[in-house]
Amino acid sequence: MNDTVILDRKADFPGLLTPQGAAWHYLDTAATAQKPQAVIDAMSRALGRDYATVHRGVYARSAEMTLAYEAARRRTAQFIGAASENEIVFVRGATEGINLVASSWGGASLKPGDRIMLSVLEHHSNIVPWQMVAERTGAAIDVCPLTEDGRIDLDWLEANLTPQHKLVALAHVSNVLGSILGAKRAAKAAHGVGAKLLLDGCQAAPRMRLAMAELDCDFYVFSAHKLYGPTGIGVLWAREELLDAMPPYQGGGAMIDRVTFEKTTYAPPPQRFEAGTPMIAEAIALHAAIDYVDALDPERLFEHESGLAAQLREELRQLNSIRLFGPEKSAGIVSFAMEGVHPHDLGTILDEENVAIRAGHHCAQPLMDHLGVPATARASFGLYSDESDIAALLRGIERTKRIFG
């Protein structure tokens, strides 16, 4: 049995009840996390009595909003162990963060003959932007295989990186298998051949204590909505010198220094990459989400969720009709298949039992091809998950077994 860390925070999350007030066993946190009341309140205040634009207004409310927006940037920098708030670019989400790096850094740095290293388990958002920039620049893409238990094979990576590789882009935690990357080893391998390392931190940021200096990557991206914050905002982290050397991604207001029809000069980063009116209320709600998560301690969240994942894997193993995917040590995400039952059918029956899992390819079709399945069922835990969610899932699986004979 595991020493599961008990957090007991369900009461903070109004989304964990059905409209009738029954318990809703939400096991789709890897897709998006439910929000604590503190985040909902922060968002509501920011859109209500505090609302105004930022960076431009001469009136007090706008000046206060600007302070709150920039305080969110400082808090984010502190939360992920960045050296300065100037290393934090607010983007729409991880997807936009990766597109920004691919388009700006990739567009300016890649040339024919260069290579980009991805892995089999990447989310489509860490594949397609690289394919687009590879097509534009003439660079080529290589794919790092997985170990038998579904981790990125760092032995293979170390043996196969070459000076032609200019970028390595990997998931810090897999959204399908929960596999955890040996990030420092990946950084050493990438830097050893002079390549930059981008880490997709979507699933790691809500579950691990992050320290950018220690990770030693070059770019880090994540989405606020998986970190118990709102949709519509995410973070791209990179060192200031690197951001400073990158051309703008989008043009518009707020990212300029001086505009004339002859020539426009750009603001320094991070403003250079934040064209247009930013996500004001969302940044403030992200600040509240970070305060909430930080107070609970990301290291405890990791223990809590990986403990629940280990427990679920153990229980599923007892039912001998289940195929489990991924490594034994998972960051709170468990993918499985039930013999003779399509994951969508399982998901539909579980929904009748107030259990929400994800069924599908999880935006990782190359990984599905590798596993030899069109889809998996995925249960993913959050800080509010507990053993009652596992019990409800197991009851639903038993019922599905009876229905399918």
Residues of the shown chain interacting with ligand PMP in the complex, contacts defined by CB under 6 A: 30-31, 93-95, 123, 125-126, 171, 175, 200, 202-203, 223, 363
Q: Is 402 exposed, middle or buried (0-12, 13-18, 19+ CB in 10 A)?
A: exposed
| Nearer to ligand PMP among residue 230 and residue 248 (C-beta) | 230
141 or 363: CB nearest ligand PMP? 363
Toward ligand PMP, which CB reaches closer, 242 or 363? 363
- Please identify which residue in the block is written with the tokens 């590879």: 134
Q: For residue 130, give the H/E element and its range.
A: helix 128-137
Show the CA angle centred on residue 290, arms to residues 287 and 296, nearest 5°.
145
Q: Which residue matches tokens 């489990």?
A: 324
* Smallest gap from residue 263 Cβ to ligand PMP (A): 34
Question: What single DSSP character describes residue 374?
Answer: S
Order the strands of the 219-223 sheet from edge to edge. 88-91, 234-238, 219-223, 196-200, 165-171, 115-119, 140-144
Q: What is the torsional sign of CA 316, 205, 248, 273?
A: positive
Q: Least distance (Å) from ligand PMP to the CB of residue 2?
A: 24
Name which of 139 and 202 has its Cβ closer to ligand PMP: 202
Encoded tokens for 330: 């998972």
| For ligand PMP, the closer CB: 123 or 207 | 123
- Residue closer to ligand PMP by CB (options 126, 385) is 126
Which amino acid, residue 110?
Answer: L
Find the shortest distance in angstroms from Cβ 234 to ligand PMP.
6
Name the residues annotated as catalytic. Answer: 363
Minimum Å gap between C-beta 96 and ligand PMP is 7
Q: Which amino acid is at 27?
A: L
* 3-state SS class at 104: helix
- CA neighbor of 269 nearest in space, from 237, 232, 222: 237
Quick one: which of 305, 48, 265 has its CA closest to 173? 305
SS3 sequence of 246-307: CCCCCCCCCCEEEECCCCEEECCCCHHHCCCCCCHHHHHHHHHHHHHHHHHCHHHHHHHHHH
Q: Please report how close the Cβ of residue 367 comes to ligand PMP at its closest, in angstroms.
A: 11
Minimum Å gap between C-beta 123 and ligand PMP is: 4
Query: Least Å distance between CB 144 and ligand PMP?
Result: 15
Query: Residue 317's CB: how many other CB atoms inside 10 A?
Result: 11
Q: At what angle do helices 298-318 and 387-403 cross, to 10 degrees?
A: 30
Type of residue numbered 147: T
CB nearer to ligand PMP: give 114 or 305.
305
